Amino acid sequence: MDIKTLIRDVPDFPKKGIIFKDITPLLKHPKAFQEVISKMAEQYKSQKINSIVAMESRGFILGGALAIQMGVSFIPVRKPGKLPWKTLQETYELEYGKDTLEIHQDSIVKGDKVLVLDDVLATGGTASATIRLVERAGGDVVGACFLIHLSFLNGHEKLKSIPIFSILQF
Positions annotated as catalytic residues are 58, 95
From CA 142, how far away is CA 47, in angstroms rounded? 8
Ordered alpha helix ranges (H), the chain = 24-27, 30-44, 58-70, 125-136
Helix axis angle for 30-44 and 58-70, nearest 10°, is 60
CA separation (Å) from 69 to 8, 36, 40, 165?
26, 11, 10, 17
Rg (CA), the chain: 15
